[in-house]
Amino acid sequence: MELADFLKKEQILTDLKASDRWEAIEELIELLVVNGQIKAVDREAIISVVKKREASMSTGIGFGIGIPHASTDLIDNVTGAFGRSKGGINFEALDNQPVNLVMLFLVPQGQFQKHLHTLAKIAKVLHKNEFRKSLQEAEDEAEMYQIIRDTQET
Protein backbone atom coordinates (compact mmCIF):
# COMPACT_ATOMS: atom_id res chain seq x y z
CA MET A 1 0.00 0.00 0.00
CA GLU A 2 1.43 3.34 -1.11
CA LEU A 3 1.00 6.64 0.75
CA ALA A 4 -1.11 8.09 -2.03
CA ASP A 5 -3.49 5.12 -1.76
CA PHE A 6 -4.93 6.47 1.49
CA LEU A 7 -3.73 10.07 1.64
CA LYS A 8 -5.51 12.92 -0.12
CA LYS A 9 -4.33 16.50 -0.54
CA GLU A 10 -6.92 17.55 2.07
CA GLN A 11 -5.26 15.24 4.60
CA ILE A 12 -1.99 17.19 4.53
CA LEU A 13 -1.06 20.06 6.85
CA THR A 14 1.91 22.17 5.78
CA ASP A 15 2.24 23.96 9.10
CA LEU A 16 1.60 21.87 12.20
CA LYS A 17 1.11 24.08 15.26
CA ALA A 18 1.98 21.28 17.70
CA SER A 19 4.97 21.59 20.00
CA ASP A 20 4.98 17.94 21.12
CA ARG A 21 3.95 14.55 19.80
CA TRP A 22 0.67 14.49 21.75
CA GLU A 23 -0.49 17.77 20.20
CA ALA A 24 0.62 16.59 16.75
CA ILE A 25 -1.47 13.43 17.09
CA GLU A 26 -4.53 15.46 18.11
CA GLU A 27 -4.01 17.97 15.29
CA LEU A 28 -3.74 15.26 12.64
CA ILE A 29 -6.70 13.29 13.97
CA GLU A 30 -8.75 16.50 13.93
CA LEU A 31 -7.83 16.88 10.26
CA LEU A 32 -9.18 13.37 9.63
CA VAL A 33 -12.43 14.30 11.40
CA VAL A 34 -12.79 17.52 9.38
CA ASN A 35 -12.26 15.56 6.16
CA GLY A 36 -14.75 12.84 7.05
CA GLN A 37 -12.18 10.07 7.35
CA ILE A 38 -13.22 9.37 10.94
CA LYS A 39 -16.46 10.21 12.73
CA ALA A 40 -16.42 13.13 15.16
CA VAL A 41 -18.00 10.90 17.78
CA ASP A 42 -14.97 8.56 17.52
CA ARG A 43 -12.34 11.33 17.80
CA GLU A 44 -11.48 10.85 21.49
CA ALA A 45 -11.42 7.05 21.31
CA ILE A 46 -9.06 7.16 18.32
CA ILE A 47 -6.84 9.78 19.96
CA SER A 48 -6.69 7.50 23.00
CA VAL A 49 -5.67 4.39 21.04
CA VAL A 50 -2.97 6.28 19.10
CA LYS A 51 -1.61 7.89 22.28
CA LYS A 52 -1.61 4.53 24.05
CA ARG A 53 0.47 3.05 21.22
CA GLU A 54 2.77 6.09 21.23
CA ALA A 55 3.24 5.91 25.01
CA SER A 56 4.61 2.37 24.73
CA MET A 57 7.45 3.64 22.52
CA SER A 58 7.90 6.81 20.52
CA THR A 59 7.34 6.50 16.79
CA GLY A 60 9.92 9.22 16.24
CA ILE A 61 12.23 7.02 14.19
CA GLY A 62 14.98 9.55 13.53
CA PHE A 63 15.82 11.77 10.55
CA GLY A 64 13.07 14.20 11.61
CA ILE A 65 10.33 11.60 11.07
CA GLY A 66 7.41 10.60 13.28
CA ILE A 67 4.97 7.84 12.32
CA PRO A 68 2.25 7.58 14.97
CA HIS A 69 -0.09 4.74 14.14
CA ALA A 70 -2.66 2.37 15.58
CA SER A 71 -5.27 -0.25 14.77
CA THR A 72 -8.89 0.45 15.60
CA ASP A 73 -12.29 -1.09 14.94
CA LEU A 74 -13.69 2.45 14.48
CA ILE A 75 -12.58 2.65 10.84
CA ASP A 76 -13.20 0.45 7.81
CA ASN A 77 -10.20 1.38 5.63
CA VAL A 78 -6.61 2.47 6.11
CA THR A 79 -6.46 6.24 6.47
CA GLY A 80 -3.94 8.82 7.49
CA ALA A 81 -2.89 12.42 7.76
CA PHE A 82 0.47 13.99 7.01
CA GLY A 83 1.85 17.05 8.73
CA ARG A 84 4.92 19.22 8.40
CA SER A 85 6.41 21.31 11.20
CA LYS A 86 8.88 23.95 10.14
CA GLY A 87 10.06 24.53 13.71
CA GLY A 88 10.23 20.88 14.70
CA ILE A 89 8.27 18.92 17.29
CA ASN A 90 9.58 17.22 20.41
CA PHE A 91 8.66 13.65 19.58
CA GLU A 92 11.07 11.98 22.00
CA ALA A 93 12.59 10.49 18.85
CA LEU A 94 15.17 7.73 18.90
CA ASP A 95 17.89 10.18 17.80
CA ASN A 96 16.68 12.90 20.24
CA GLN A 97 16.18 15.30 17.32
CA PRO A 98 13.01 17.29 16.62
CA VAL A 99 10.53 15.84 14.13
CA ASN A 100 9.55 17.87 11.06
CA LEU A 101 7.47 15.31 9.16
CA VAL A 102 4.65 13.39 10.85
CA MET A 103 2.73 10.64 9.06
CA LEU A 104 -0.16 9.43 11.21
CA PHE A 105 -2.01 6.38 9.95
CA LEU A 106 -4.79 4.13 11.16
CA VAL A 107 -5.52 0.56 10.12
CA PRO A 108 -8.73 -1.38 10.77
CA GLN A 109 -8.48 -3.75 13.73
CA GLY A 110 -7.32 -7.24 12.85
CA GLN A 111 -5.39 -6.30 9.71
CA PHE A 112 -1.98 -6.98 11.19
CA GLN A 113 -0.17 -7.72 7.92
CA LYS A 114 -1.55 -4.58 6.28
CA HIS A 115 -0.50 -2.59 9.35
CA LEU A 116 3.08 -3.86 9.21
CA HIS A 117 3.32 -3.48 5.44
CA THR A 118 1.99 0.10 5.56
CA LEU A 119 4.38 1.04 8.36
CA ALA A 120 7.34 -0.45 6.49
CA LYS A 121 6.39 1.32 3.26
CA ILE A 122 6.05 4.70 4.98
CA ALA A 123 9.36 4.29 6.83
CA LYS A 124 11.13 3.26 3.63
CA VAL A 125 9.95 6.23 1.58
CA LEU A 126 10.51 8.75 4.40
CA HIS A 127 14.08 7.53 4.90
CA LYS A 128 14.94 8.86 1.44
CA ASN A 129 16.74 12.14 2.08
CA GLU A 130 15.73 13.66 -1.26
CA PHE A 131 12.05 12.86 -0.63
CA ARG A 132 12.13 14.43 2.86
CA LYS A 133 13.91 17.51 1.54
CA SER A 134 11.34 17.95 -1.24
CA LEU A 135 8.48 17.72 1.26
CA GLN A 136 10.13 20.21 3.60
CA GLU A 137 10.63 22.70 0.77
CA ALA A 138 7.18 22.31 -0.82
CA GLU A 139 5.10 25.48 -1.00
CA ASP A 140 1.71 24.02 -0.11
CA GLU A 141 -0.42 20.91 0.34
CA ALA A 142 -0.89 20.48 -3.41
CA GLU A 143 2.86 20.40 -4.03
CA MET A 144 3.42 18.03 -1.11
CA TYR A 145 0.69 15.73 -2.42
CA GLN A 146 2.21 15.76 -5.91
CA ILE A 147 5.62 14.82 -4.45
CA ILE A 148 3.98 11.92 -2.61
CA ARG A 149 2.14 10.78 -5.77
CA ASP A 150 5.29 11.05 -7.90
CA THR A 151 7.29 8.99 -5.41
CA GLN A 152 4.92 6.04 -5.65
CA GLU A 153 5.49 5.92 -9.40
CA THR A 154 9.26 5.52 -9.11
Which residues are annotated as catalytic?
69
pTM: 0.93
How do residues 97-146 score in pLDDT, each as one tens digit?
A: 999 999 999 999 999 888 888 888 888 888 899 999 999 999 999 999 99
Q: How far apart are CA 48 and CA 115, in angstroms?
A: 18
Q: Name the residue ranges covered by the structural domains of the chain.
A: 3-152
Residue 3 CB partners (closer than 8 Å, separation 6+) = 80, 82, 103, 121, 122, 125, 148, 151, 152
How do residues 10-22 score in pLDDT, each as one tens digit?
A: 999 999 999 999 9
Instruction: Report the topology of domain 3-152.
Output: Mannitol-specific EII; Chain A (3.40.930)
